[in-house]
Amino acid sequence: MAATGQEKTVSDYIVHHLTNLTYGKLPEGFDRYDGHTVGAGGEWAFAHGADEIAAMGFNAVHVDSLAWSIGLGVIFCALFRWVAVRASAETPSGLVNFIEMVVEFIDNQVKDTFHGQNKLVAPLALTIFVWVFLMNLMDLIPVDVVPELMVLAGIEYQKIVPSTDPNITMGMAVGVFILMLYYSIKVKGFGFAKELALNPFNHWVFIPVNLFMEIVGLLAKPFSLGLRLFGNMYAGEMIFILIAALFGAGILWVLPASLLQIGWAIFHILVITLQAFIFMVLTIVYLSMAHEDH
């Protein structure tokens, strides 16, 4: 934190680390940080500070989250494609062996939970597990390294853990939700509407009550899915930042802060794997429920 300058307080440091690199459309008439006012029709620009991000509203993109997320997704695809090309019935070795182990693990999870016939679920689970794991893994890179390098390179903000951005986790949860709705309608047809209307009280009088309860329950699934991952990762990242901030509290704090940092990082290895696993298992369970016709 010392590198960011003496005039910065701890809260500035934390806020800086928790701010996304945002590119968005500033509304007409907004006074920017450098004094000039946005002209007619608005203006697309990188945000500088929280008030500009707030002014952008929905018309903004978290460039860092999206870039890291897509970059990690590309790494996942490239790695697994590389192995897929080399996979054969011969004796596997090294990386191929490891990737096959992951694939077999996912395959077993899917077979245990999902009993329908669907060629999408297993690759979906694999993508979610590995991708979310890689995104969470960014949390183990010391919090200052990339943001400080980016500041040196002239980029003001950088949040390198995509899963600490609700847009990313909710994006995936919404993707899963779309699949849930699609398969519910495809498999059950009209039965899906009946399920929503006639559960848990099977009488026409209760249809509005049932509908309300079932739709809330249905919507709770993607929200719990996305927000669980976001909450866990955000909290973990926050604790990393707070521990990092301890280093600035004086020379006496260096040793305890180091120990805390190491301890939390080791514990976090478990957390990131577990969160990736939970996201995957819940996805399989939700899709399995979408396929079950009562």
224 is catalytic: yes
Say whether the peptide bond before residue 162 is cis (omega within 30 degrees of 0): no
Clarify whether 228 is annotated catalytic.
Answer: yes
Name the residue among 212, 213, 167 with its Cα closest to residue 68.
167
Q: Which of 32, 199, 228, 288 is catalytic?
A: 228
Q: How many CB atoms lie within 10 A of CB 246?
A: 18
Question: Does position 210 bind other proteins by CB under 8 A?
Answer: no
Touching other proteins, residues 3-42 (CB under 8 A): 22, 24
Residue 257 in contact with other proteins, rule: CB under 8 A: no
Q: DSSP per residue over 204-230, as a string?
A: GGGHHHHHHHHHHHHHHHHHHHHHHHH
Distances in Å between the Cα of 222 and the Cα atoms of 76, 133, 179, 214, 289 are: 24, 19, 11, 14, 13
65 binds other proteins (CB under 8 A): yes
Measured CA distances, 116 to 10, 52, 122, 184, 293 (Å)? 53, 49, 11, 12, 11
Question: Smallest distance, Å, CB 262 to other proteins?
Answer: 29
> Total residues at the site for other proteins (CB under 8 A)?
51
Select the residue interacting with other proteins from 10, 15, 45, 77 (CB under 8 A). Answer: 77
**How far apart, in whole angstroms, are the C-alpha atoms of residue 268 and residue 226?**
19
Site for other proteins, residues 119 to 178, rule: CB under 8 A: 119-120, 122-124, 126-127, 131, 165-168, 170-172, 174-175, 178
Say how far apart CA 49 and CA 286 lie, in whole Å. 39
Decide: is 54 part of the binding site for other proteins (CB under 8 A): yes
- Closest contact distance (angstroms) between CB of 174 and other proteins is 6
Q: Is 210 a catalytic residue?
A: no
| Minimum CB distance to other proteins, residue 282 (Å) | 15
Instruction: Please give the Cα distance from 147 to 157 (Å, whole number).
Output: 7
- Selected binder of other proteins within 14, 15, 45, 87 (CB under 8 A): 87
Three-state DSSP class for residue 7: coil
Residue 160 structure tokens: 């390198």
Distance between CA 272 and CA 266 in Å, rounded? 10
Q: Kindly state whether residue 57 participates in binding other proteins, applying the rule CB under 8 A.
A: yes
Applying CB under 8 A, does 111 fall inside the site for other proteins? no
Among 2, 84, 249, 259, binds other proteins (CB under 8 A): 84
Position 107 contacts other proteins (CB under 8 A): yes
Q: Contact positions toward other proteins, by CB under 8 A?
A: 22, 24, 53-54, 56-62, 65-66, 69-70, 73, 76-77, 80-81, 83-85, 87-90, 92, 99-100, 103-104, 107, 119-120, 122-124, 126-127, 131, 165-168, 170-172, 174-175, 178
Residues noted as catalytic: 224, 228, 232
